Structure 1
Amino acid sequence: MVIDPIRYFRRRRRLMQEAEDEAFYLRRRFGEEAHRAALDKLQRPDLTSWGKQVVREAARLLEKN
């Protein structure tokens, strides 16, 4: 299997953009409890694998702040 570096880069950039958007939304909605809300959201069974990656990255971003 050959990994296309351009495709990987675009996918990673899209993941980071969506995670930043999710983190912004969670901060605006939950304030100081945004990180906890992200962790709670990760437990939802209806999230797709992409959604879990986005929320996991958003939680990582929120943990830093």
Structure 2
Amino acid sequence: MIVADLGLPDGSGVDLVREALEQDESVAMIVASGRDARSSFEDLARNGRIAHIAKPYEIAGLRSVFMEVQAG
């Protein structure tokens, strides 16, 4: 499971997610974003193992999304 922020200060979280998918398409991920990144997320979510959570988020929300992604 990878949890990544789409807006990283030293690079793009989208690039990080794409690189991870290139290495293993079955990897499960949660991507976080404080801005509307719906288009970037939808492009990444095509494999069905990636979910989006909006920042700021609470641990209970992250846990719920985690369980959803794990169920795949």
TM-score by length of 2: 0.30
TM-score by length of 1: 0.31
The structure with the largest strand share of the pair is 2
